[in-house]
């Protein structure tokens, strides 16, 4: 196991800057997820840690060693890719053992490591099969096993579940989480899937256009997004974001009005964007409830997503399963000021108002 440090790591392709000076300290045994849309620089950053991408400036340290100029094979890392990259003509046992044989490791030690990884990942019944005889999930486990047998200081995983169907992805998320708990090795995981990030990570690093937008624990970035991009990217269904201004100490927009949460005073006339998560708008008669005119109903099983308007503002409201609502129905919903996320409309940055669900401000 080892710590990983990125010190102002930057990557440019000519005049195009793909990654803008990332500073990051990954603790020993920590699971950090790089999250963001396609083209945000997350995979490029991972590849620079691995040594597969040359660093334009900055340094990478693994286990206290500066590895910036070292070849990938000398960094004691193991990487799992989106494609399984298995040898189709070799058995699963041979696929697992191949890298160790190339290092001229003792045959008995190779056998011990392969069997230990196979047992951990449930691959024992498949060791004599060829990759084409396995399912996608089984092949991904082989790819994980091939990394595991090396006993690396750091695991690097680049969108390893993207080729799997939804059900298999859930199962493989569980496998990866269990693997991390058992081996305790530092892991860096790249994904564009926020569910993977929220369920797997100790901390999430959110990127956009090569810039780090926020770094924090999953519930920290959910409860207190630092800017509009993070607010809109984290959460499913996505956060309602409403543009408006401060009038008489309240937030007002197209027939929609709500008191602002306690915190630093916001000047009269200031243009804001206010966010409220669909799951933080309980339905039902209550003091101060406002009418939501429903236009679309999405049944999600245990929950129902109501899409409609409060005044002229389009809103998504996530409630417990509701069977009787139809298009045109008016449903009373409650808007709680302490649940609001308030952002400066010009800069997109969070204004320090609002509280976490527990009533306490999370650490910034």
Q: How would CATH label the architecture of 4-223?
A: 3-Layer(aba) Sandwich (3.40)
pTM for the complete prediction?
0.89
Domains 4-223 and 228-344 in one fold: no
| pLDDT on residue 1 | 65
What's the average model confidence in pLDDT over 122-130? 92
How does pLDDT run across 29-62, given as a tens digit for each residue? 999 999 999 999 999 999 999 999 999 999 999 9
Strand-pair category, 290-299 with 57-62:
unpaired
Q: Is the pLDDT at 21 greater than 50, yes or no?
A: yes
Tokens of 199: 């369920």
- What pLDDT is recorded for position 267? 87
Closest C-alpha among 310, 311, 250 to residue 283: 310
Which tokens go with 115?
A: 């069997």
User: At a CB cut-off of 8 Å and minimum separation 6, what does 69 contact?
Assistant: none
Task: Write down the residue that tokens 């650490």 correspond to.
Answer: 363
Given a cut of 80, is residue 354 above it in pLDDT? no
pLDDT tens-digit readout, 224-261 = 999 999 999 999 899 999 999 999 888 999 888 888 88
Q: Kindly report, residue by residue over 301-326, the tens digit of the pLDDT.
A: 999 999 999 999 999 999 999 888 89
Listed by start position, the domains of the chain span 4-223, 228-344
CATH code for the structural domain at 228-344: 2.40.50.140
Mean pLDDT (whole number) for 138-160 = 90
Q: Please give the pLDDT value at position 264.
A: 67
């Amino acid at each position: 196991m080892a710590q990983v440090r990125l010190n102002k790591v930057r990557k440019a392709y000519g005049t195009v800057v793909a990654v803008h000076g990332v500073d990051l300290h990954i603790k020993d045994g920590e699971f950090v997820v790089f999250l963001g849309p396609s083209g945000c620089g997350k995979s490029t950053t991972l590849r620079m840690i691995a040594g597969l991408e040359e660093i334009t400036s900055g340094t990478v340290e693994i286990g206290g060693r500066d590895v910036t100029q070292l070849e990938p094979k000398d960094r004691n890392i193991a990487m799992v890719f989106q494609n399984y990259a298995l040898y189709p003509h070799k058995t699963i046992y041979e696929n697992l053992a191949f890298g160790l044989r190339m290092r001229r490791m003792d045959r008995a030690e190779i056998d011990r490591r392969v069997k230990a990884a196979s047992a951990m990942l449930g691959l024992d019944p498949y060791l004599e099969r060829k990759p084409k005889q396995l399912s996608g999930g089984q092949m991904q486990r082989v790819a994980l096993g091939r990394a595991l047998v090396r006993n690396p200081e750091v695991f690097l995983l680049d969108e390893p579940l993207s080729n799997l169907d939804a059900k298999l992805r859930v199962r493989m998320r569980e496998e990866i989480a269990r693997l991390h708990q058992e081996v305790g090795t530092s892991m860096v995981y790249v994904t564009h899937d926020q569910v993977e990030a929220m369920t797997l990570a100790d901390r999430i690093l959110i990127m956009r256009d090569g810039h780090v937008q926020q770094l924090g624990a999953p519930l920290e970035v959910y409860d207190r997004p630092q800017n509009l991009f993070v607010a809109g990217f984290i959460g499913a269904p996505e956060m309602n974001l409403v543009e408006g201004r401060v009038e008489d100490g309240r937030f007002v927009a197209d027939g929609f009005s709500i008191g602002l949460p306690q915190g630093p005073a916001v000047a009269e006339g200031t243009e804001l964007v206010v966010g409220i998560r669909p799951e933080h708008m309980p339905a039902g008669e209550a003091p101060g409830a406002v009418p939501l005119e429903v236009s679309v109903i999405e049944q999600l099983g245990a929950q129902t997503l109501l899409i409609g308007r409060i005044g002229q503002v389009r809103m998504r409201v996530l409630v417990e399963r509701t069977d009787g609502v139809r298009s045109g129905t008016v449903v009373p919903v409650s808007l709680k000021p302490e649940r609001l996320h308030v952002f400066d409309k010009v800069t997109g940055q969070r204004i320090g108002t609002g509280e976490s669900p527990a009533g306490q401000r999370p650490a910034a």
